[in-house]
Amino acid sequence: MNDFPLRLRLRRAALVALLLGLWAPFKVAWEQQISRQQDEIRYHGLVMTRELRDGLGQGLTIGVLSGMRSVVADIIWLNVTTAWENQEWFRMGGLINLCTSLQPRAAVFWDMGGWHLAWNASVAAMHDKDQPNELRRIKASRYWIDQGLDVYKRGIENNPEYWRLWRDTAMLYDQRLKDYPKAAYYYKEASKRPGAPVFLERFPALMYDKYHGNDDQAAYAEWKELWERLTPEEREMKEHWKEKIENNIRELERKLSVPKEKRIFPN
Partner 1 sequence: MISSLHRILIIGRNTLTEAVRQKVLSVLLVFALIQISSSIFISQLATPDLDAAGLFAEQIKLVKDAGCGAIGLFGFFIALLSTALLIPQELDKRTIYTILAKPVRRAEFLLGKFLGVVLLLALCVALMSLAFAATLYWQESIGLATVEANYGQVGDWQHNAHAREMHDNDVALIIHQVRDPQLVEAIVLIFAKIIMTAVIALLISTFATSWIFTIITTFLVYLIGHGEGMARTYWLAHGAETTIWQSGLIGLIALLIPDMNSFTIVDEILAGHQVPWHDVLNLLCYANVYVIVLLAVSVVIFDYREL
Partner 2 sequence: METSAIAAPPLAVETIGLTKRYPLTWKRKVLVALDHLDLQVRQGEVFGLLGPNGSGKSTTLKLLLGLIVPSEGEARVFGLSPDSLEARNRIGFLPENPYFYAFLNGDETLRFYGKLCGLSGAKLEKRIEELIDLVGLQNGRERPLRSYSKGMLQRIGLAQAMIHDPDLLFLDEPTAGVDPLGSVQIRDLILRLKKMGKTVIFSSHLLEQVQEVADRVAIFSLGKKVLEGSLESLLTVNQSTQVLIPTEMTPQQQDKLRQFIAQGGVDEKEIRFTRPHLSLEQLYLRTVQNQPDVAPKEQSRP
Residues that bind partner 2 (CB under 8 A): 1-5, 8
- Concatenated DSSP letters of 27-53: HHHHHHHHHHHHHHTT--PPP--HHHH
User: How buried is residue 222: exposed, middle or buried, by Cβ count under 10 Å (0-12/13-18/19+)?
Assistant: buried
By CB under 8 A, tell whether 3 contacts partner 1.
yes
Residue 230 touching partner 1 (CB under 8 A): no
Specify the stretch interacting with partner 1 by CB under 8 A; choose among 69-77, 132-140, 174-182, 216-224.
69-77
Among 52, 53, 70, 153, binds partner 1 (CB under 8 A): 70
Q: Draw the binding track, 241-260, toward partner 1 (x: CB under 8 A; -: no contact).
A: x-------------------
Q: Can you tell me the distance from the alpha carbon of 196 to that of 177, in angstroms, rounded to the nearest whole number? A: 23
239 near partner 1, judged by CB under 8 A: yes
- Give the residue among 134, 220, 122 at the shortest CA–CA distance from 177: 122
Q: Is 67 in the site for partner 1 (CB under 8 A)?
A: yes
Closest to 183 in 3D by CA, of 151, 214, 147, 219:
219
2 φψ region: left (φ > 0), alpha (ψ -120 to 50), beta (else):
beta
The verdict on 6 binding partner 1 (CB under 8 A) reads no
Residue 153 contacts residue 117 (beta carbons within 8 Å) = no
236 binds partner 1 (CB under 8 A): no
Query: Alpha-carbon distance 50 to 56, whole Å?
Result: 10
Residue at 118: amino acid letter? A
- In a 3-state reduction of DSSP, which class is residue 147? helix
265 binds partner 1 (CB under 8 A): no
Distance of alpha carbon 83 from the chain centroid: 22
- Residue 70: CB minimum distance to partner 1, A: 4
- Supply the angle between the helices 240-255 and 203-210 in degrees, to the nearest 10: 50
The interface with partner 1 within residues 173-212 (CB under 8 A) comprises: 195, 197-199
With CB under 5 to 8 Å by kind, the binding choice for 34 among partner 1, partner 2, none is partner 1
Q: How far is the CB of 258 from partner 1 (least distance, A)?
A: 29
Nearer to partner 1, 9 or 254 (CB): 9
Q: For the CB of residue 18, give the shortest distance to partner 2 in the complex, in Å.
A: 21
Which residues make up the interface to partner 1 (CB under 8 A)? 1-4, 8-9, 11-12, 15-16, 19-20, 23-24, 26-28, 30-35, 37-38, 41-43, 45, 62, 65-71, 73-74, 77-78, 81, 103, 105-108, 111-112, 115, 164, 195, 197-199, 239-241
